[in-house]
Structure 1
Amino acid sequence: MRILVLGAGALGGYFGGRLLQAGAEVTFLVRPGRRARLEREGLVIESPFGNLRRPVPTLSAEEAVPGWDLVLLACKAYDLPSAIAAIRPAVDGRTAILPVLNGLSHLDALRQAFGPGAVLGGLAKIQATLAPDGTVRHLNDWRYLTFGELDGAMSPRVQALAGLSARAPGLVAEAVPDILQRMWEKLVHLGTSAIGTVLLRANVGEIVRAGGAPFLHRVLERNAAIAAAHGHGMPERFLAEYRALFADPGSAYATSMLRDLEAGGRIESDHILGFLLDAARRAGVPAEIHEAALLHARAYEARRDAGRLPVARG
C-alpha cells in the first residue's frame, strides 16, 4: 500500500512510522524545515512500545503527484485549508483520504473538496508530542487508530488498511462499521476535557483535586445530550468510563489544547468548542458553559495575536 502522510509531527510521524514498519510504502509530505531535519536525522520515535530511528522518504507540496492508495491527514484542524491545497495534486480517483483531526467539521470540507466517496472517517487516541529536537515522543500506552467508511461499509480499502495495520508494532488499529458514532464519542470526551482545559488551565487530576469533578460530570452530560440530539447517543459503558476518568484525582490526562495553551500556541477552539456550541444551540441543549469556554478561548487567541501573552520567567 502506498501511503502519503501529510506532516511528520506527533500524530503523522508516529502513525506513519509504524505503518512504515508494517511494510507500507510511506512518504511524508512536509514543510521545508521539517524535511531538512528528516533528511539529516531520519524519523525518530521514542515510545514505550519500541523506539524507531530510520531514514524516510519526503516530498514538498510542489513535488506531489497522484498515485497514492491512501493520504493520512494528521494536521491540526485550523490548518485544514492549507492541508487540502497541499494534498490536492496527489489525489486521484483511487485515493482514499483518512483524516485523524479532532472534531467533525472537517468531514464536510474534505467531501466538498474531493467528493464524498474519497473520504474515510477516522480518529486517533494517542498522547504524543513533537519535541524541539524533532523527536516524536509517545507519552503513554494510548496508540489507537480507528477508521471506517462513512456509510458503514466494510470496503476492500478499509480491510486492506486493517490488515496492514495489524502488522505494525506499537499500533492498535481497527476498521469499524460505525465510525461516525466513534467520532461523536471522542468529541464528547474531548469536548469535556477541552472545556476544562480552557476554563481551568489544568489537567484532569488537578481539576478533580480542586473540587471540579461535579463540574466535569455536568459538562460530560451536556455533551452527551448534544450528541444524542444529533442521532448519536452515548452508551452507558462509555459514560461510566468517562465519569470515572473525570473523577480520578490522580489522573494526569490533559488535552493537546492544554499543551498548546501553555506553550502560547494556536488552539483548535472553533473546531471543537465552536462546533459543540453550534450543535448545542441547534439541539436546544443549554449552552452557557460552551459559550463561556469558546469566548475564553477566542479571547486567548486575540491576546496571543496581539503579542500580549505573559512571558515565562526562568
Structure 2
Amino acid sequence: MKVAVMGAGAVGCYYGGMLARAGHEVVLIARPQHVEAIARDGLRMETRSFDEHVRLAASSEPSAVQGAQLVLFCVKSTDTESAGAQIRPHLPADALVLCLQNGVDNADRLRAVLPETAVAAAVVYVATEMAGPGHVKHHGRGELVIEPSSTSEAVAQALIAAGVPTEVSGNVRGALWAKLILNCAYNAVSAIAQLPYGKTVQGVGVKDVMRDVVAECLAVAKAEGVQVPGDAVAAVDKLADSMPNQYSSTAQDLARGKRSEIDYLNGLVVKRGEALGIATPANRVLWALVKLMESRPASVWLQGAAHRAVTAA
C-alpha cells in the first residue's frame, strides 16, 4: 500500500514509521528540518520495544500525496482547512483520508474541503514526541479507532499487521468525545504547569478541577446527543498512571512558542456549551489561561525550556 502522511509530526511519524517498517511505501510530508534528517539517516523510531532507523521517503511538498491509497492526515486542528486545500489537487480519486487529529469536528471540516474524497475520522491513543529532527520518541500506547468506510476494514488490517492495534467502530463520534474529555482534563493543566501528567495530578486541587472539567464535558456531550463510551471519570484517573512522563501536546506547543489547539479542545466545549445553554466555567478558565499564555513571546518559552533543561541535568 502506498501511504502519505500529511503533517508528519510526532503522531504522523509514529504511524507512518510503523507502516513503513511493515513494508508499505510511505512518504512523510513534514517540515524541512525533518525531511533533511530523514533523507540523510532515515526516521529514528525510539519506542518501548525497539530503537532503529526506518528508511522511507520524505518531502515538504503537499503534492507528495500523489498516488497514495491512504493519507494519514495529522496536521493541527488549526490547519485542517488550509492543509486540506493544499492536498486536494493531488489526491487520487480512490484515496482514503484518515484524520488522526485532536478534537471532534476535523473530519466534518475536512469533508467540506474535500467533497469528492473519502474522509474517515479516527481516534488516536498514543503518547509520542519529536525528540529532534527526524527522531520520534514513543512513550506508550498506540491504538486507533477508525470510522467505517469502503476501505476502512482493509486499512485496519494493514495497521494491525504493522503492529498498530486498530478497531473499526460505528460510534467514532462517541469515541472522539471520550478522547476530547481526556484532552480537556489534561492538556491545559499540563501546559500551564509545564509538567508531565504524573506530576500534574499531584498538584493540590488539580484532580478536583479535572473532575469539574469532565462533568461539564459530559453535560455538553449529552446535550449534543453523543453517547460517550466507557467511564470517562475512571479513564481520566487512569491516564496519569499509564503515561506519567508525557507532556500534553498543548504543553509542547507552548514550550515551542507555537499556537496550540486549545480552541478545539476546552474552547470547543465552551462554545458548544454556550450554544446549548450549559455553563462550562472550569473549561472556560483553562481555555482562557492557555489563550493568554499563547500571547507570550516565544523567547520567554525558550528561556523557560533552557532553565528546565539545566535543572534536569
State whether TM-score is above 0.5: yes
Q: Which amino acid aligns with 1:144?
A: E
Alpha-carbon distance in 1 for matches of 2:151, 2:28: 20
5+ long unaligned stretches in structure 2? none
Aligned amino acid, residue 173 of structure 1:
T
Given residue 241 of structure 1, which amino acid in structure 2 is its aligned partner? A
Alpha-carbon distance, 1:188 to partner: 1.2
Structure 1 equivalent of residue 57 of structure 2 = 57
1:98 Cα shift? 0.5
Query: In the alignment, which residue of structure 2 is the partner of 1:152?
Result: none
Give the CA deviation at 1:245: 4.5
Alpha-carbon distance in structure 1 between the residues aligned to 2:219 and 2:258: 31
- Aligned residue identity for 1:225: A
Distance 2:303 2:85 in 1: 35
Distance 1:226 1:192 in 2: 14
| Whole-Å separation in 2 of the counterparts to 1:3 and 1:80 | 19
Give the conservation status (yes or no) of the 8 Å contact 1:66–1:90.
yes
- Conserved? CA contact 1:44–1:136, under 8 Å: yes
Aligned-pair Cα RMSD in Å: 2.6
The residue type equivalent to 1:180 in the other structure is R
In structure 2, the residue matched to 1:26 is 26
Which residue pairs with 1:90 in the alignment? 90
Superposition TM-score, scaled by structure 2 size: 0.87
2:201 is paired with a residue of what secondary structure? helix
Asked if residue 168 in structure 1 is aligned to residue 162 in structure 2, the reply is yes
1:122-271 to structure 2, matched below 5 A, reads 122-140=122-140, 142-149=141-148, 155-169=149-163, 171-211=164-204, 212-235=206-229, 237-245=231-239, 251-271=244-264
Structure 2 residue aligned with 1:311: 303
Whether the 8 Å CA contact 2:220–2:278 is kept in 1: the answer is yes
Residues 210-255 of structure 1 show CA distances to partners (whole Å, capped at 9, x for unaligned) of 3322221121111111111111133453433324547x6x944542
- Kindly provide the CA deviation profile for residues 137-157 of structure 1, in whole angstroms up to 9, marking residues without a partner as x: 1112x11122113xxxxx440
* Matched residue, 1:284: 277
Please tell me whether the aligned partners of residues 64 and 89 of structure 1 are also in contact (alpha carbons under 8 angstroms).
no
Matched ranges for 1:44-123 at <5 A: 44-61=44-61, 63-64=63-64, 66-115=66-115, 118-123=118-123
Q: Secondary structure at the match of 2:236?
A: helix
Distance 2:68 2:246 in 1: 36
Identify the residue that residue 35 of structure 2 maps to in structure 1: 35
Q: Give CA-to-partner distance per residue, 1:42-95, whole Å, 9 cap, x none.
A: 111011122331321233426436432111111222232442233223213211
**8 Å CA contact retained: 1:71, 1:95:** yes
Shift of 1:2: 1.8
**Unaligned stretches of 5+ residues in structure 1:** 150-154
The amino acid that maps onto 1:174 is: E
Partner Cα separation in structure 1 for residue 103 and residue 52 of structure 2:
29
Q: Deviations over 1:98-124 (max 9, x none)?
A: 111100232232111111762101121
Q: Structure 1 length normalisation: TM-score?
A: 0.86
1:31, 1:209 → 2: CA distance? 36
Q: Is the 8 A contact 2:4 2:65 kept in 1?
A: no
Whether contact under 8 Å (2:43, 2:135) holds in the other structure is yes
Whole-angstrom CA distance in 2 between matches of 1:223 and 1:239: 11
Deviations 1:126-169 (A, max 9, x none): 111111243111112x11122113xxxxx440011011112113
Aligned equivalents of 1:65, 1:236: Cα separation in 2: 36
Looking at structure 1, the residues matched to 229 and 102 of structure 2 have their Cα atoms a distance apart, in angstroms, of 21
Identity of aligned residues (%): 26
Q: Which amino acid aligns with 2:145?
A: T
Paired letter, 1:230: E
